[in-house]
């Protein structure tokens, strides 16, 4: 029996593939390579010493997906395939809803057709909107102000409704905070197309000389140094959370819906991240403080106690580890997978 990973060639997909293989799982990857590179899979094979089956397909293509299920004995799905830029989603809401929501509906239709009723969905802390207090707990109100966030929230609702209609489904909604870092080998890491949307790859590209300087959006927030505070989590910790969720389902005889935060439970400011990266890399990180960005919230970090209680998962890596592993990846691969 194998685990099907949609979006398996992506940043989180590749790291999760490594951890699943290391934990004895057989995997099959599906990716349309719209935001990933096939060479990343070769790197995973190099790390694990295993050959990996990869299918070039879009999850909206029912025939292609059905063929994968017909030709393989699939036990469950980890669903990473989705577009993930807030700004891009504002410019192209139809594309985001089509890919992220219609794609998930099609995936679930095919899963149901082949009686595969185990799915782990990569959700996001964006579903909490602007929380009134921190740390953020899973029972907090949810709201979001952009199509990307809406697509995550709506997919969560769809999966909850599927469970209500059929209690045989085992569903995990894993709400990620801010994934950063890279595998310790330096062979796989985050390789965004064009200018990065996220903070850590932007910092690392400044450090390697690919970008001239970093822009810090606001230094007048109510935090220790005035910059925004976020819960950064090492991508390997995140990947291991998916393994723990699968292990949990293996021990359960009944269906279930798990809604869990995956974060460290600690907040780090933007300036703390910059200074820690400078320390571990030995590189200067030129930055300029500019006006706040509309919609940014001051502080966001997780309560991760429920994941520890239910699936025995807890983050291991600290901020220095995250920066060190990011720098190892970026310095070895200045242009990512290009």
pLDDT tens, 207-245? 999 999 999 999 999 999 999 999 999 999 999 999 999
Catalytic residue status for 97? no
**pLDDT of 1 over the 90 cut:** no
Q: H or E element: which one contains 89?
A: helix 86-91
Is 2-183+232-263 in CATH node 3.40.50.720? yes
Range 191-210 average pLDDT: 95
Among 336, 254, 268, which residue's Cα sits nearest to residue 300?
268
Which residues lie closer than 8 Å to 137 by C-beta, 6 or more apart?
Answer: 261, 303, 306
Range 271-278 average pLDDT: 98
Kindly report the pTM of this predicted structure: 0.97
| pLDDT at res. 294 | 86
From CA 273, how far away is CA 91, in angstroms rounded?
Answer: 29
Residue found by looking up tokens 């995997």 in the block: 27
| pLDDT at res. 260 | 98
Q: In a 3-state reduction of DSSP, which class is residue 13?
A: helix
pLDDT above 70 coverage of the chain, percent? 100
Tell me the CA distances in angstroms from 136 to 128, 140, 204, one per residue in order.
Answer: 8, 7, 28
In the structure, what pLDDT confidence band is assigned to residue 291 with cuts at 50, 70 and 90?
A: very high
Phi and psi (nearest 5°) for 310?
A: -90, -40
Tell me the CA distances in angstroms from 10 to 23, 31, 62, one per residue in order.
Answer: 20, 8, 21
Q: Which of 25, 148, 268, 301 is flagged as catalytic? A: 148
| pLDDT at res. 209 | 96
Tell me the CA distances in angstroms from 33 to 15, 29, 148, 149, 287, one per residue in order.
Answer: 16, 11, 19, 22, 32
| pLDDT at res. 168 | 97
Among 277, 269, 261, 251, which residue's Cα sits nearest to residue 309?
261
How many of the other CB atoms lie within 10 Å of CB of 148?
24
| pLDDT at res. 338 | 84
SS (H, E, C) 149-173: HHHHHHHHHHHHHHHHHCCCCEEEE
Q: H or E element: which one contains 96?
A: helix 93-96
Asked if 3 and 74 count as a contact pair (C-beta separation under 8 A), the reply is yes
From CA 95, how far away is CA 101, in angstroms rounded?
Answer: 10
**pLDDT of 282 over the 90 cut:** yes
In the structure, what pLDDT confidence band is assigned to residue 112 with cuts at 50, 70 and 90?
A: very high
Range 105-121 average pLDDT: 98
pLDDT per residue as tens digits for the range 303-328: 999 999 999 999 999 999 999 999 99
What's the whole-number average pLDDT of the chain? 97
| pLDDT at res. 182 | 98
In the structure, what pLDDT confidence band is assigned to residue 289 with cuts at 50, 70 and 90?
A: very high
| pLDDT at res. 75 | 97
pLDDT per residue as tens digits for the range 60-108: 999 999 999 999 999 999 999 999 999 999 999 999 999 999 999 999 9
Among 192, 172, 187, 188, which residue's Cα sits nearest to residue 245?
172
In the structure, what pLDDT confidence band is assigned to residue 45 with cuts at 50, 70 and 90?
A: very high
In the structure, what pLDDT confidence band is assigned to residue 295 with cuts at 50, 70 and 90?
A: confident
**pLDDT of 300 over the 90 cut:** yes
């Amino acid at each position: 029996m194998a685990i099907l990973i949609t979006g398996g060639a992506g940043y989180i997909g590749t790291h999760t593939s490594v951890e699943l293989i290391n934990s004895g799982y057989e995997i099959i990857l599906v990716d349309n390579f719209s935001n990933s590179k096939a060479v990343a899979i070769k790197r995973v094979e190099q790390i694990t010493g295993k050959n990996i089956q990869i299918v070039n397909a879009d999850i909206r293509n029912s025939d292609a997906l059905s063929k994968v299920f017909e030709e393989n004995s699939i036990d469950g799905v980890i669903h990473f395939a989705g577009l993930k830029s807030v700004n891009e989603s504002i410019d192209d809401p139809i594309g985001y809803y089509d890919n992220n929501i219609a794609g998930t509906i099609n995936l679930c239709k095919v899963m149901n057709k082949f009686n595969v009723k185990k799915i782990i969905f990569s959700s996001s802390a964006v579903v909490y909107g602007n929380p009134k207090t921190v740390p953020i707990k899973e029972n907090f109100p949810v709201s979001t102000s952009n199509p990307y966030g809406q697509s995550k929230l709506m997919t969560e609702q769809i999966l909850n409704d599927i469970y209500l209609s059929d209690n045989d489904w085992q569903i995990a909604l894993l709400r990620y905070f801010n994934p950063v870092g890279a595998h310790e080998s330096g062979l796989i890491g985050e390789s965004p197309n064009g200018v990065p949307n996220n903070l850590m790859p932007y910092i690392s590209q400044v450090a390697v000389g690919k970008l001239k300087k970093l822009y810090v959006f606001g230094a007048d927030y109510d935090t220790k140094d005035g910059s925004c505070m976020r819960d950064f989590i090492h991508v390997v910790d995140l990947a291991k959370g998916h393994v723990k969720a699968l292990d949990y389902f293996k021990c359960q005889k009944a269906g279930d819906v798990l809604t869990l935060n995956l974060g460290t439970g600690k907040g780090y400011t933007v300036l703390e991240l910059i200074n820690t990266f400078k320390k571990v890399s030995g590189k200067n990180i030129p930055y300029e403080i500019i006006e706040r960005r509309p919609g940014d919230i001051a502080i966001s970090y997780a309560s991760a106690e429920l994941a520890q209680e239910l699936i025995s998962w807890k983050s291991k890596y600290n901020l220095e580890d995250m920066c060190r592993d990011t720098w190892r990846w970026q310095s070895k691969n200045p242009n990512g997978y290009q």
